[in-house]
Structures are given as structure tokens and as C-alpha cells.
Homo-oligomer: A and B are copies of this chain.
Amino acid sequence: MTLPDAFLDIARRVNNWGRWGPDDEIGTLNLITDEVVRAAAATVRSGRRVPLAVPLRQDGVQTGMIPGRVNPLRTMVALNLEMFGPGTIATSDDVVTLGLQAGTHWDGLTHVSHSGRIYNGRPADTVTAHSGAEFSGIEKVSSLVSRGVLLDVAAALGVDRLPGGHAVTPEDLDAAEELAGTKVRAGDIVLVRTGQIQAYLGGDKQAYAYPSPGLSIRTPEWFHARDVAAVANDTLTFEIFPPEVEDLWLPVHGLDLVEMGMLQGQNWNLEGLAAACAEAGRREFWLDATPEPFVGGAGAPVAPVAVL
């Protein structure tokens, strides 16, 4: 079996293999230049900070449907322990087990492969059980700071939350860009709001997981045309799920990560940001979203903060 033309045609158009040389491991992050960062700093006006991470807890967003992607289990290994004797300073320490893609996270470029290949045409089997990703591991990201732009699709379409079956199209992104009042440009980190995370915040994890609105297979070309550095949203699956095209699973993952070499973010809480942006009357901001540098990681948790 091979992937259908519906996928392969777009793949050819958004492919970035070799664009930054045969040794490149970070893809579209190359688009974040010092100049881009300087311009991003200029978007800080009020100094208001908005955190975008969902708190990491055992009752996290995972429902158990994705095997092994376990919610965080944090426990104490020391608890007010007076290790130097009674009456001394006591210490508390904790340890955690979690799926790297369990909470608010970035998918690393090796999170998916297709036809035996990962980004930049490397063999998929360069990811191994014992070492993880030899190339393009999440630690290669090193830093991820740029201008953030909120594309509030829900607001642009006049709803609080997109319905489960809604595929976010290029036209939707156009409308949200219009609402944002700024043109998405090279090196931006784009945050696409669907409102779907309200289901999780409201206590219904199943409804959050499935069915989910999300990015259409047609969006990678939109991001590619604008040379976006990375895209995140407020869903578990990033792309519309179940998929638009029958039997074509995770096509957006394949296009964004493998072909373009562009990081995807999931489970970002964009509710507070949407409110802050609406209040401020602008949807561009400084965004710091550097993932934890797990060596060889196919992804990593991130605690993103927008500064308006």
C-alpha cells in the first residue's frame, strides 16, 4: 500500500528537504533569524504575560486511547526530610513519569515518518528504541522564541468553539488573519484557536479527544506559502480527527513534520490568550515556547508564554 495522490501531490509542493542543506535537523526553525526575534521583541507593549500550558497532572488530557502516552504521575521521593538530622532544614523532592506528548507539547520532527523517511529524507530507522532520534531529536530545537500570531478561527467564524467535525481550511485561516489585523510572515509561530480545549477544561476529556476540529489537509500549503516557523493549536490531534479523506490518517502530520520540517504543537490552552488579545485589540505578541531538551525525543513538553 502507498499513500494516495491526495497526499503525495501536496507533499511535493510543501517539501523542504535540502532547502537548508543536507545536514539540517531543524527545518522551518531556520526561518527564525535574529532579525525576526528583534521584530518580535517590538511587539511587547503592555508587558502582560499569558501562560498557554495546561497544568501537568495525573488527570491530564490523555484518555488512555493512545497506548503509552501516559498522563503525568508525579510523586514525592523526599517529603520534609531532615536528612542532616532532627531540626535541620528539611527537603522535599519529586519524580515524574509522563508521555512526552501527553500534555502541552511540541511534536518533534521525528514524531511521524512515512514511506520509511523522516524530515530531510533521512531513513526512519535512524530513530531507535535505545537512543531515540539520532537526527532531529527535540533537543536540537535549542530555543524557540519568535513573534506569535493568534489566528482565532472560532472568533472569526463567530462561534465560541468549532464543532467536532470542522476542518479548519485555508479560507478559515484567511478570515482569522484578517481578524488578527496582521499578516502572517516568515519565522512566525502561528497559534490556531478552535476553542476545542473548552471541553477538557469543562471536564469532558472524551469530547475533547474525539471527534475533534482541526487543521485541514489543505493548510500545510498555506503555512508553507508564508514560511511559518511553527504552528500550535488547542486540540489533542492537531488536525481534524477523524480525517477528511477516508483511510488517509494523519496526513497533516506527514506534511508538516516530514515534508516541511515544521513543528506542530498540541493541547495548548489558548482561551486566556484569546481574551487578552481581544482586550488588547491585537493578536501579535512575543512568544517563548522552548521545549524541554530531551535528547532524542520525538516530542517534548513545553510551557509556552505569550507576552503582549
Chain A residues engaging chain B, CB cutoff 8 angstroms? 1-3, 33-38, 41, 44-51, 53-58, 64, 66-70, 72-81, 84-101, 110-115, 124-125, 127-130, 132-133, 139, 142-145, 247, 249-251, 253-254, 286, 288, 290-299, 301-305, 307
Contact of A250 among B64, B89, B297 (CB under 8 A): B89
Is A292's CB under 8 angstroms from B250's CB? no
Q: 15 A–B contact pairs at CB < 8 A? A: A1-B88, A38-B44, A41-B47, A68-B78, A68-B95, A73-B77, A76-B76, A79-B127, A81-B130, A87-B115, A89-B113, A89-B253, A94-B298, A145-B305, A290-B305
Contact of A41 among B1, B44, B143 (CB under 8 A): B44
A136 smallest CB distance to B (angstroms)? 11
**What number of copies of this chain does the assembly contain?**
4
A216 smallest CB distance to B (angstroms)? 16
A159 to B249 CA separation, bound complex (whole angstroms): 47
Is B307's CB under 8 angstroms from A291's CB? no
Contact of A55 among B101, B125, B129, B293 (CB under 8 A): B293
A172 to B134 CA separation, bound complex (whole angstroms): 42
Inter-chain contacts of A290 with B (CB < 8 A): 51, 288, 303-305
